[in-house]
Amino acid sequence: MHDTKGQVRIGMIGASGRGGIAAYWHKPEGRSVVAGAADIVPDKLEAFKQKINPDAFVTLDYRELLQRNDIDAIAITSPDYCHEEHAIAALEAGKHVFCEKPLAITTEGCDRILEAWRKSGKHLMVGFNMRYMNMFRTMKEIVDSGVIGEIKAVWVRHFVGWGGDFYYHDWHANSKNSTGLLLQKGSHDIDMIHWITGRYATKVSAFGGLDFYGGDKPDDLTCPNCAEKDTCTEYSGKHLIQCAFRKEVDIEDNNVVIMELEGGIKASYLQCHFTPDYHRNYTFIETEGRLENSEPDNKVFVYTRRSNTERELANRVYEIKEAEGTHGGADPIICQDFIDMILTGKRPVASPQAGRMSVAVGCAATKSLRSGGGVVQVTPVPDFASE
């Protein structure tokens, strides 16, 4: 199923933003070359050629990119609501696919991608770069070592400092484009809960609200043209940024989710987008201790309890080493893994099924919080795509 050629030629769908990871793939003297890009904004394609590869084929129609025989793989870094269309089209065109998270914005969309993947015989990787961050790889290693026993409970608090800058000034702020931030932003955290515990969520209950952003401002109001820009806490000096308090904003800015995972593990996930700081705080409570991280301190703590073993004799502090590259050093590694998957058949750290389950939980939780907080069952991976 893997290629024997020594170099992979990649085309990008989405030339800016997250598409900046193209720099890690464009290694003309190495194993991969970024040979093309598609975007709907001409200026972004021109900037892409200047920054990445002046000889790259660029187009305003992604289908022209897929038609090229000199493109082996497609990296999808377009907006979330485009992922399903782009991934299915690329797989049907016989390309290997790297798709940024979330895999799609609906569970059904994910299943359609998995079906296209199964039929294609090609490789599919989901961009869960948190699995490659030193902080969370360390936490996974500690849990797998058994040093604090068996996981029984998980608490995750996500303080999204700068949430307004990230999500409420653009397309993210409308549910038709993202479903909601429980899916869009939470897909990373849901996946971390799944990955570190080794269990998928089976049912959820959630509450949330739009309690800070949104409002009655015109949908066409932009920050540079706003009369309140000198006093607004969310003012952005960037070019033509949409108002974070416009009428069309309909995604929750804070939420609480309770999950039950396979094996009876209980997990909670809390997310807020108007906090003053940025921090992902993870706590795993196990039969012989507790594991917790501190992103601001770049440390992981293990606290042990009585176990009648030598493990109880000490608590432990792990000082996480710095890594080079964006997203805490994760991006260059995940890009390398994509090439290894294609050239050598290396199994990805995050399977396509894991990408689908993260979306399924996010969608189920969003359904719960928008319908009164009742328990919603998470639909399992279809039999045709089971791992």
Q: Using one digit for the tens of pLDDT, what is the confidence trace for 297-326?
A: 999 999 999 999 998 999 999 999 999 999
- pLDDT higher than 90, residue 145: yes
**Same domain, yes or no: 294 and 338:** no
- Residues facing 155 on adjacent strands: 268, 283
Residue 150 banded pLDDT, cuts 50, 70, 90: very high
Q: Give the pLDDT score at 138.
A: 98
Residue 386 banded pLDDT, cuts 50, 70, 90: confident
Q: Give the pLDDT score at 2.
A: 56
Please report the sign of the dihedral spanned by the C-alpha atoms of residue 359, residue 364, residue 367, residue 368.
negative
**Same domain, yes or no: 178 and 314:** yes
In a domain, 3, yes or no: no
Residue 252 banded pLDDT, cuts 50, 70, 90: very high
Q: Across all residues in the chain, what is the average pLDDT?
A: 96
In a domain, 337, yes or no: yes
- pLDDT higher than 70, residue 3: no
In a domain, 1, yes or no: no
- pLDDT higher than 80, residue 256: yes
Domain at 262, CATH number: 3.30.360.10
**Same domain, yes or no: 297 and 338:** no
Q: Give the pLDDT score at 85.
A: 98
**Same domain, yes or no: 305 and 164:** yes
In a domain, 150, yes or no: yes
Q: Give the pLDDT score at 5.
A: 64
**Same domain, yes or no: 98 and 139:** no
**Same domain, yes or no: 67 and 145:** no
Please state the rounded mean pLDDT for residues 207-231: 96
**Same domain, yes or no: 265 and 213:** yes
Domain at 47, CATH number: 3.40.50.720
**Same domain, yes or no: 364 and 342:** no
pTM of the full predicted structure? Answer: 0.95
- pLDDT higher than 90, residue 239: no
**Same domain, yes or no: 377 and 288:** yes
Rounded distance between C-alpha atoms, residue 194 and residue 146, angstroms: 17
- pLDDT higher than 80, residue 12: yes
Q: Give the pLDDT score at 385.
A: 84
In a domain, 114, yes or no: yes
**Same domain, yes or no: 58 and 189:** no
Q: Give the pLDDT score at 200.
A: 98
No. of H helices and E strands in the chain? 12, 15
Q: Which domain holds residue 338?
A: 8-127+331-347
HEC profile of the chain: CCCCCCCEEEEEECCCHHHHHHHHHCECCCCEEEEEEECCCHHHHHHHHHHCCCCCEEECCHHHHHCCCCCCEEEECCCHHHHHHHHHHHHHCCCEEEEECCCCCCHHHHHHHHHHHHHHCCCEEEECHHHHCHHHHHHHHHHHHCCCCCEEEEEEEEECCCHHHHHHCCHHHCHHHHCCHHHHCHHHHHHHHHHHHCCCEEEEEEEEECCCCCCCECCCCEHHHCCCCCCCCCCCCCCCCECCCECCCCCCCEEEEEEEEHHHCEEEEEEECCCCCCEEEEEEEECCEEEEEECCCCEEEEEECCCCCHHHHCCEEEECCCCCCCCCCHHHHHHHHHHHHHHHCCCCCCCHHHHHHHHHHHHHHHHHHCCCCCCEECCCCCHHHCC
**Same domain, yes or no: 235 and 270:** yes
In a domain, 352, yes or no: no
**Same domain, yes or no: 269 and 226:** yes
- pLDDT higher than 90, residue 136: yes
Rounded distance between C-alpha atoms, residue 190 and residue 354, angstroms: 10
Tell me: the pLDDT tens digits for 326-381? 999 999 999 999 999 999 999 999 999 999 999 999 999 999 999 999 999 999 99
In terms of Cα–Cα distance, which of 316, 313, 282, 318 is closest to 300? Answer: 318
Tell me the Ramachandran region of residue 215: left when phi exceeds 0, alpha when psi lies from -120 to 50, beta otherwise: left
Residue 81 vs residues 6, 124, 182, 249: alpha-carbon distances, Å? 33, 18, 15, 16
Residue 240 banded pLDDT, cuts 50, 70, 90: confident
Residue 6 banded pLDDT, cuts 50, 70, 90: confident
Q: Give the pLDDT score at 387.
A: 76
Rounded distance between C-alpha atoms, residue 139 and residue 283, angstroms: 10
Total domain count for the chain? 2
In a domain, 367, yes or no: yes
In a domain, 13, yes or no: yes
Q: Give the pLDDT score at 172.
A: 95
